[in-house]
Amino acid sequence: MVVNRRNIEALAQSVVELSKHRVIWRELTNKDYKTVRESTFKDYEDFFTLTVDAHFLAFCIKTSALYDKSPDVISIPNELEDIQDEALKKTLKEELRNKNEFISRVKKVRHKVFAHRDLVLDPSELFKEARIRPDQMKSFTNFAQLQVGRLLEYFGGDTCNEFVQNCEIFEENAREDTARMIALLVGKTN
């Protein structure tokens, strides 16, 4: 696959979306806010249950797409192949190999729970088996931001630092939006 600027920009947009979905999911599941939101979540139970699941699913889908190894897709592994700087390519591939176990667990959740349900395991059992923790999701999101940031910089876009800083701004905006929405709902139920 020939790398072009639009491919890298598409990956950057996917990483921004991955980041936002993780932050919103984390805000909605954060135990620090449980007592504040408990009655609100009960008042809007269907909405919050589906929303939490939707953001986790989006995280799994974005991760699977970003790291899809099919030859005909725009993905990080495929774009790495077009890097001419062998040292950089080797470094990025090695970093990716170190994340393969986590990526496999996320892909398994996406596959077994959301894409091709075989009903062998209940979704809650599969989540436990997959051992996907919030801190791992954050660490992985940061990793994806850095990988795409390096690709952007290598192929003539933003610097890696600029991209990561922009992701942090998008994450903070998503966090604040989620907190404001919950605060509005809390005010309406009291």
Return the percent helix, strand and coil in the chain, to nearest 5: 80, 0, 20
> CA–CA separation, 81 vs 23, rounded Å?
30
The range of the structural domain enclosing residue 111 comes to: 5-189
Instruction: Give the residue among 187, 174, 182 at the shortest CA–CA distance from 58.
Output: 174
> CA–CA separation, 111 vs 123, rounded Å?
11
* Contact predicate 189/43, CB 8 Å: yes
Q: Which residue has the higher pLDDT, 107 or 86?
A: 86
Residue 113's H or E segment, with its range, is none
Total structural domains within the chain: 1
pLDDT at 1: 41
Whole-number percent of the chain with pLDDT over 70: 84
pTM of the predicted model, to two decimals? 0.88
What is the dihedral sign for C-alpha 117, 111, 3, 20? Answer: positive
* Contact predicate 67/75, CB 8 Å: yes
pLDDT digit string, tens, across residues 35-83: 666 777 778 888 888 888 889 889 999 999 999 999 999 999 999 998 9
> CA–CA separation, 109 vs 101, rounded Å?
13
> CA–CA separation, 130 vs 114, rounded Å?
14
Flag whether pLDDT at 124 surpasses 60: no
pLDDT at 114: 64
**b/e sequence 36-75, b meaning 16+ C-beta within 10 Å:** ebeebbeebeeebeeebeebbbbbbbbbbbbbbeeeeebb
